[in-house]
Structure 1
Amino acid sequence: MALFDVFNPFQGITPRFTEEKINEIIAWFDVHSKPLLVINDGDPLHVITIEKLIDFLKLKKFHRRMFHYPSYAEIMNEAEKLKAGVTRMLTKEQFIYILDKWIVKANLKHELLLAFKIFDTEKRKFLEIDELSFIVTNYGDMFNKAETLELLRDANVQGDGNIFYENFVESLFNVAPELNDITVDFLYENPDEDPSVPPDPVIEIETSPKEKQFTQPLAPVGSININIIE
């Protein structure tokens, strides 16, 4: 297995961002980056600081339903993995990579449970067979009517026509784990309408003296010598 290259983090990995989104990120980076980092006496690399990354996140360019806005601790944790915890600087590739880590994909199990809760207006935690059948056959096109009736027949163990949908979903995915691989859309387009999405987070910024951001040459990372241009 190839070693993780902090300066080429997408090696063997396909970004989850669309090409359009990547171009938007690159355009922002090109405007705000500066040639401050030198690797092995090569030409200076354009980089942004961690503080600039936080400024970018504050712009809320990504839909909150599809992107996890990280805390300062989460940001620094990812920076450490890229050996940028000391330099507090990110190259263009690292900038895209660290943002790509926080993309949120719709999960079929989660979205199904949300759909059931919409129909469960009385918050009884169970639905009648007809209601549940409608959701399963119409959301995500998972099963046809015959397949759904067979599933519901097994699920309705009490024979009263009511099905506790949380237990039903768990048993469904235990029997057919391949359902986890199905790609679906988010049930709520507006994250503020989704009861499972927390409100906008407050990104706490750790204040540090400027001299800690742009200091003397750093110790080598592996066999790579990194220098910060003052």
Structure 2
Amino acid sequence: MAVFDVFQPLAHVTPRFTEEQLEEIVQWFDENAKPLLVINEGEPINVVTIEQLIKFLELKKYHRRSFRYPTYQELMLEVEKIKAGVTRVLTKDQLIYILDRWILMPEIKHELGLAFQIFDTENRNFLEIDEISLIVTQYGEPFSEDETREILRDANVRGDGIVYYENFIESLFSIAPELYELKTEYLFDDPDEDPSVPPEPVIEEVEEEPPPPPPPPPPPAKGKKKK
């Protein structure tokens, strides 16, 4: 088992970012890093601070379908794992390693369920055999007549012409678990179009109430009457 090196955390890890995303991270690092860390009395190396990483996360560069933004506590737990809790600075590899922890990869069962939901315009949680036949013969890469017949036979397990697609998907993957190995892509590029992704919370600005007016000055003291 390879020993984890806190200064080379990517030695046995392949980042899941795209090439474009990695280039963007490296560019941001190079623009913000400063030679603040010395290892084993060597030359100072470029690092960014944890505070800078927090500001980077606040830029919201990745949408909610592909990246789960961590809380401050979650972030600090990962920082502690690479022993950066004391120095509070991160090397380029450490930065990429930490960000990679919260990448979300598309899950084929989930994306398949979303595909069914697109055609379930009435939100019935089921489709009729005729509708599925139309989908598999006219959308994407059309299936042949024999393939369509086999799909419909497996889908119509109740024999009533109605397919509850969530049950069908579960049955499909239980029969053929090798389907989990298939790579898939996100059906919705825009997370706001994906019905399974909750919208970002809207933070309403609370208007501060004006301070109460100062109390009126006390009435002037009455002088004593002369006798």
TM-score by length of 1: 0.78
1:178–1:145 Cα change, 3 Å: farther
Structure (1 or 2) with the larger CA radius of gyration: 2
The answer for unaligned runs of 5 or more in structure 2 is: 203-227
Q: 1:117 to 1:197 in 2, by over 3 A?
A: same
**Shift of the alpha carbon at 1:143?**
6.9
Indicate how the Cα distance of structure 1 residues 26 and 2 shifts in structure 2: closer, same or farther if over 3 A, else same: same
- Pairing 1:84-103 to 2, within 5 Å after superposition: 84-103=84-103
Matched, 1:6 2:6: yes
Spell out the pairing of 1:12-31 with structure 2 (5 A cutoff): 12-31=12-31
Alpha-carbon distance between aligned partners in 1 of 2:4 and 2:138, rounded to the nearest angstrom: 43
Correspondence 1:45 to 2:69:
no
**Residue in 2 that maps onto 1:194:** 194
CA RMSD, Structure 1 to Structure 2 (Å)? 2.4
Evaluate the alpha carbon distance shift between residue 145 and residue 182 of structure 1 in structure 2; reply closer, same or farther with a 3 A threshold: farther
**Is residue 47–residue 91 contact of structure 1 (8 Å, CA) maintained in 2?**
yes
Q: How do 1:157-176 residues align onto structure 2 when only pairs under 5 Å count? A: 157-176=157-176
Partners in 2 of 1:77 and 1:142 — Cα distance?
Answer: 48
Number of residue pairs matched by the alignment: 202
Cα shift at 1:64: 2.8
Distance change in 2, residues 1:170/1:192 (3 Å) = same
1:107 counterpart letter in structure 2:
E
Q: Please say which of residues 121-130 and 92-101 is displaced more in the overlay.
A: 121-130
Q: What is the alpha-carbon distance in structure 1 between the residues aligned to residue 138 and residue 78 of structure 2?
A: 39
- What TM-score do you get using the length of structure 2 for normalisation? 0.79
Aligned partners of 2:190 and 2:136: how far apart in 1?
A: 22
- 1:88-137 per-residue CA deviation (whole Å, 9 max, x = no partner) reads 22111010111122222222110111111222222221111232345567
Quote the Cα distance in structure 1 between the aligned partners of 2:140 and 2:13. 27
The one-letter amino acid paired with 1:131 is E
- Corresponding position: 1:112 with 2:125: no
Q: How far did residue 42 of structure 1 move? A: 1.4
1:77 equivalent in alignment to 2:66:
no
Cross-structure match for 2:219:
none
Larger CA deviation: 67-76 vs 162-171: 67-76
Conservation of the 8 A alpha-carbon contact between 1:137 and 1:143? yes
**Code of the aligned partner of 1:168:** F
Matched AA of 1:156: N
CA shift for structure 1 position 158: 2.0
In structure 2, how many angstroms separate the alpha carbons of the residues matched to 1:32 and 1:145?
A: 59
Residue aligned with 1:39, SS: coil
Q: Percent identity?
A: 64
Name the CA distance, whole Å, in 1 between partners of 2:169 and 2:121.
Answer: 18
The 1:51/1:201 distance shift into structure 2, 3 A limit, reads farther
State the Cα distance separating 1:138 from its structure 2 match.
7.2
**Letter paired with 2:73:** A
Q: What is the CA distance between 1:33 and its match in structure 2? A: 1.5
Distance in 1 separating the partners of 2:10 and 2:86: 21
Residue 118 of structure 2 aligns with an amino acid whose one-letter code is I
What secondary structure does 2:48 align onto?
strand
Letter in 1 for 2:101: K
Residues of 2 paired with 1:122 and 1:165: CA distance? 14
Segments of structure 1 that go 5 or more residues without pairing to the other structure are 203-230
Change (3 A) 1:71 1:41: same
Which AA in structure 2 matches 1:95? Answer: L
CA distance in 2 between counterparts of 1:177 and 1:132 reads 22
Give, in whole Å, the separation in 2 of the partners of 1:153 and 1:29.
55
